Amino acid sequence: MRPFAGGNGVFTFILRRLLYSIPVLIAASFIIFTFVSISGDPLTGLRLNPHVRPATIHHIEERKHLDKPLIVQYGYWVKDAVFHGFGTTVLGDEPIGPDLTRVFGNTLQLIVAAELISILLAIGIGVYSAVRQYSPFDYTATTFSFIGFSTPIFWLALIAQMLVIRLNTATNTHFLFVSQLNSSTYTNFWVDRLEHLILPVCILAIAEIAAFSRYMRASMLEVINSDYVRTARAKGLSERKVIFKHAFRNALIPLVTVVALNFGALFGGAIVTETIFSLDGMGLYFIHALGDRDVYPIMAWLMVTAVIVIVFNLVADVLYGLLDPRIRYE
């Protein structure tokens, strides 16, 4: 057994996990392709259209290999995914890669901003609630957490939009925007992008703060009541040093798991937020692909989400070793 802190141990562990991820990705890709493919015929709309000639449909089937067995179609799809940016759409023959890259970057901005805000606030709220257990602050934080848990994001987003529209109308300003990622005309691109992202970021962060703060509070309560923390207090260390040097680091471990897994899941959860705010991101891209009944953009979206989940599982495992030196890997 070698300590995780060793450089060779870290490299070996990461390399091993990356190698383990390869068969997982292959299995995920096959499951995604198979289930999306058998969910329906992407050319149904064309087949029912009397103005579309059978020769046109046959040409599309040949171009996208839809007339081949499923396993052969899978091979062509993997080739396109690896070497041609997931290939092209079924109907319009439009490249998927450039659109996917654009919407991925937009969603990344939204999610990273929401996650950073929610993590920082949740850690502060969770730690203080645990240290001041059953205090007015703890009861207040618990109440707002339950409200955040129980409030549907779509309802919260719609109410926020309505309030901002009324505020903008009353003050004759447009500091906050309720849709899109940028205005048609702007002086500074990033300032304009920030003004458009404030509202959706806050909506996403509210739900995350409610969840993360409860995990942090529960984890912190478990740690500060453990034997080694009581021993640190018995040695005469200050309460501040006991909390932040001995308890806080270990209390972060469960939160790391939740945050890492949640990051990948947010690409699915952001569908609601991006649709309501008309944000050109992964969520709206997925909705449009569903509306067009185009299977290849849907497969690409699912595959990117699967990769993100696997990557952040690896990130969580690495952070375990950094936060807790007792964790060791062979």
* Cα–Cα distance, 103 to 284 (Å, whole number): 9
Overall average pLDDT of the 128-140 stretch: 91
> Looking at residues 247-253, what average pLDDT do you find?
83
The answer, yes or no, to whether residue 1 has pLDDT greater than 80, is no
For the chain, the farthest-separated pair of C-alpha atoms sits apart, in whole angstroms, at: 86
CA dist., res. 48 & res. 62, Å (int): 19
pTM of the model: 0.85
Residue 227's pLDDT is 81
Helix (H, G, I), strand (E, B) or coil at 95: strand
pLDDT of the residue at 78 = 93
34-55 pLDDT, tens digit per residue, is: 999 988 888 888 888 888 888 8
| Res. 23: pLDDT tops 70 | yes
Task: Report helix, strand or coil for 34.
Answer: helix
Output the average pLDDT for the chain: 86
Q: At residue 160, does pLDDT exceed 60?
A: yes
* Comparison of pLDDT for 215 and 268, the residue scoring more: 215
Residue among 305, 219, 221 at smallest CA distance from 267 = 305
Mean pLDDT within 306-322: 81
Counting residues of the chain whose pLDDT is more than 70, the rounded percentage is 94
Report the pLDDT value the prediction gives residue 162, as an integer from 0 to 100: 92
Q: Tell me how far apart the alpha carbons of residues 52 and 202 are, in angstroms, rounded to a whole number.
A: 47
Q: pLDDT grade, residue 292 (50/70/90)?
A: confident
User: How far apart (Å, rounded) are the C-alpha atoms in residues 262 and 122?
Assistant: 14
**Sign of the four-CA dihedral 91, 95, 99, 104:** positive
H-helix or E-strand spanning residue 298: helix 295-323
Sequence-separated (6 or more) residues with CB below 8 Å from residue 316: 256, 257, 259, 260, 261
Q: Assess contact for 319 and 220: CB atoms under 8 A.
A: no
